[in-house]
Amino acid sequence: MVTFYGSELPSRLMLGTAQYPSPKVLAEAFRRSGAGIATVSVRREAAGGEGGAFWDLVRELGVRLLPNTAGCHTAREAVTTARMARELFGTDWIKLEVIGHADTLQPDPWGLVEAARILSDDGFKVFPYTTEDLVLAERLIEAGCEVLMPWGAPIGTGLGLANRYGLRSLRAQFPQVPMVVDAGLGRPSQAAEAMEMGFDAVLLNTAVAKADDPAAMAEGFARAVEAGRLGYEAGAMEPRDMAAPSTPLIGKAFLA
């Protein structure tokens, strides 16, 4: 179980809903993964006129909906899109994206904080897509965000955890803040590593939707997330430079 903004969810895996071959494949991926949250681009649904159909699909899946402001490049755009999402889907949860760099899709820190403050004051429960920057994280928390979503790597790259030091530092600096590693994960092992670091959940889309078998990949990520979390909670051993015998010498018989 994981809790965001006072709501308890059954799974630490969150899945996006874009790029799947068909609605049937999408539904099967969610079923096999057990994911508790589905994200959807408000702009894509509004532009295609498919908001009602998508909501019907999500309702049948029995998962929580997290609309996002993907494609927004200014705080004003993001705020307008978030308010559209609240009307369209009837939720005050919003994944906030304010893109500042066209090639890497890296968030615009100034626009992100501005939009987060406006939306928090407007009653939204904001999930900001951010980098691992400690100062930006602090500003987002001050703006009212109770959850952070640092990237693992640029969206859609599959590079995994590109800045392990930065992510570990972020996790250690704000131990009580729920954090979701969002974007850049390409393999289940990368999701497990994020969970072993102590992150609370992971969000991914492309790695599942574009797999040869999306449903099987979704299940693979679900198992990896569970294994990584168990490893973290159990207290995984720290690496060391020198070998240490697993069988003690004390009490061992020696032949003369």
Alpha-carbon span 203 to 221, nearest angstrom: 10
Domain 2-234, CATH = 3.20.20.70
Spatial contact of 35 and 62, defined as CB atoms under 8 Å apart: no
Long-range contacts of 231-236 (CB under 8 A, 24+ apart): 231/192, 231/195, 231/196, 232/195, 232/196, 232/197, 232/198, 236/196
Spatial contact of 204 and 191, defined as CB atoms under 8 Å apart: yes
- Is 49 marked as a binding-site residue? no
Beta strands in the chain (DSSP E): 2-4, 7-9, 13-16, 37-41, 64-68, 93-96, 125-130, 149-150, 180-182, 201-204
Single out the residue of 16, 4, 57, 8 nearest to residue 218, CA to CA.
Answer: 16
| Size of the chain, expressed as the number of residues it contains | 256
Catalytic pick among 95, 125, 210, 252: 95
Q: How far is CA 120 from the centre of its chain?
A: 20
- Is 201 marked as a binding-site residue? no
Long-range contacts of 100-104 (CB under 8 A, 24+ apart): 100/73, 104/154
45-104 confidence digits (pLDDT tens): 554 455 567 677 777 888 899 999 999 999 999 999 999 999 988 899 999 999 999 888
Dihedral sign (CA 202, 146, 163, 113): positive
If 0-12 CB within 10 Å is exposed, 13-18 middle and 19+ buried, where does residue 82 land?
A: buried
Q: How far is CA 9 from CA 1, 14, 54, 194, in A?
A: 6, 10, 21, 19
Can 95 be counted among the known catalytic residues? yes
Alpha-carbon span 149 to 128, nearest angstrom: 6
Question: What is the chain's alpha carbon radius of gyration, rounded to the nearest angstrom?
Answer: 20
- Ranges of each domain in the chain: 2-234
pTM for the full predicted model = 0.89
Flag residues of the chain having pLDDT under 50. 47-48
Per-residue confidence (pLDDT) for residue 181, from 0 to 100:
97
- Is 74 marked as a binding-site residue? no
- Is 156 marked as a binding-site residue? yes
Alpha-carbon span 208 to 214, nearest angstrom: 5
Spatial contact of 89 and 116, defined as CB atoms under 8 Å apart: no
Per-residue confidence (pLDDT) for residue 43, from 0 to 100:
67
Spatial contact of 129 and 183, defined as CB atoms under 8 Å apart: yes
Q: Identify the three-state secondary structure at position 62.
A: coil
Backbone phi, psi, residue 219, to 5°: -65, -40
